Amino acid sequence: MKLAVTVQVASSRRGVPHARSLNRWAQAACAPYLPRNDSALELTIRVVGAAESRRLNRTWRNKDKPTNVLSFPAAPLAPGKNGVPTRFPAKEFSELGDLAICAPVVAREAKEQGKPAQAHWAHMVVHGVLHLLGFDHENDRDATAMEAREVKILAQFGYDNPYA
């Protein structure tokens, strides 16, 4: 299965990584979980400003503030094995979903946490894609599993553990 990533930039481009980087990070997060077939799967990454992020967060999560990344899965999840969700129960799925990444929040967090901006952007893409694949951090066990996957994927790009 091939992942087709569309990038929309609806905020200032200042500090926003190139679409090729966003695509590479998304591909790396998806690769272990994509079925081996000839179909295509679509992902949209929308880079937003604080106002749009706040509006989306308020509408979908009842939190009246902008946030770093929001994930909107396109299809329901299928049960998985060994803690790994199965996202693709049938061939007819053509969309993975959408990510909304808030550029000013990501920039602020990177600065506050003393992280390179590129590394934090990569983390937000990987984190968001894993949510689309069905991973979450609602309890300690799930958080530990999701974080381990994030660390492994980010290490492929030479980025440090974002949780250290």
Write down the pLDDT at residue 16.
Answer: 96
Q: What kind and span of H or E run contains 95?
A: strand 95-102
For residue 57, name the pLDDT band (cuts at 50, 70, 90): very high
Residue 114 to residue 87: CA distance in whole angstroms? 34
Would you state the pLDDT for residue 85? 58
- List residues forming the annotated binding site for Zn(2+): 127, 131, 137
The pLDDT of residue 13: 85
Q: Which pLDDT does position 32 carry in this prediction?
A: 85
Residues comprising the binding site? 127, 131, 137
Q: What is the pLDDT of residue 154?
A: 98
Give me the percent of the chain exceeding a pLDDT of 70.
Answer: 89
